[in-house]
Amino acid sequence: MRVLVTGGAGFIGSHVVQALTERGHEAVVFDVSTAAGADVRNPEAVGRALSGVDAVCHQAAMVGLGKGVLDAAEYVSRNDLGTAVLLAAMAEAGVRRLVLAGSMVVYGEGRYECGEHGVVRPGPRAVRDLDAGRFEPVCPRCGRELRPGLVGEDAPPDPRNVYAATKLAQEHLSAAWARSTEGSAVSLRYHNVYGPRMPRDTPYAGVASFFRSALARGEAPRVFEDGRQRRDFVHVRDVAAANVAALEAEPPRGLLTVYNTGSGEPHTVGAMARALAAAYGGPEPVVTGEYRLGDVRHITADSSRLRAELGWKPEVRFEEGMREFADSPLRDEKPNGHMS
């Protein structure tokens, strides 16, 4: 199979290219950082790149929380306009297979249960509570403490920052493309991806990169809130393998199929920081009590659908992955946070 990988020189994209090649496929790299400077918002460049292509793996995106609403126009341009241009070119070129780099951020908060009211959806956390160090969401009906659980693909989306809104819009655009072309579209909703070639500390990087960058500077990782917020840290090679599995599968035509893509082993952010610091041999993390308004408290994945339907399973265990990541060099960010 000849596969166009947008963002193919980036963090996740480069691992996807490697995984495709190892499976005997031909990967065509389309990336803004290459000598050709191929921008997915350029219809002519995208049209040329689609020549002879059987499928597209769309990894190119502006990621992370960035600078909040100040970055909104750039996020929408790179993520949503770029996706629209790509999909229109695919429709014209007759390419009918798409795998999209989705994100768990579309859910907002994860799944919560109240002892009295069952499954509930807490609203955004109030600034007064965050300022007072009250980080846990409470039941919107009785105000009691909630139990976090695994969120499934059928949970309604609730994007709570600009990046999340653009990732959900990408899925809607992909679904519309699939319906109008009878194409097959798969969105892999990545959880917290980490591993070799991760971009270094920028406003557009993930928490694992922040901690690893601090350690490289000889500084203690700074953990926001109380460090007890739960995430699903999934290794980049496992994410790349999920992309290959989705490309090699035969998903239904005419609609978008969504899969959570996580390790299935939730860890707190504090535990991740401690594991990484220990593997690196650096200073112990510092829990700051600081917060970012765009962050959610707990978001962990139920990835059983991906395992059952595509036969995928994560191979890199948390401890092994953190040891490798501690020894891996970080890469420089592409312009304006454009990385994958």
3-state secondary structure of 202: coil
> Encoding tokens for residue 107?
């859910």
The residue annotated as part of the active site, out of 163, 194, 204, 259, is: 163
DSSP letter at 301? E
Active-site residue flag, 163: yes
DSSP state of 339: E
> How far apart, in whole angstroms, are the C-alpha atoms of residue 110 and residue 148?
7
In this structure, the strands spanning 55-58 and 97-103 are: parallel
Q: How would you label 288-315 residue by residue, b for 16+ Cβ within 10 Å and e otherwise?
A: eeebeebbbbbbbbbbeebbeebebebe
Q: Please list, in sequence order, all residues whose beta carbon lies within 8 angstroms of the beta carbon of residue 102, skipping any fewer than 6 positions away.
A: 167, 170, 171, 187, 188, 189, 190, 258, 261
What lies within 8 Å, CB to CB, of 95 at 6+ separation is 4, 50, 53, 54, 55, 56, 183
Residues 6+ apart with CB under 8 A from 255: 175, 178, 179, 185
The catalytic site residues sit at: 163
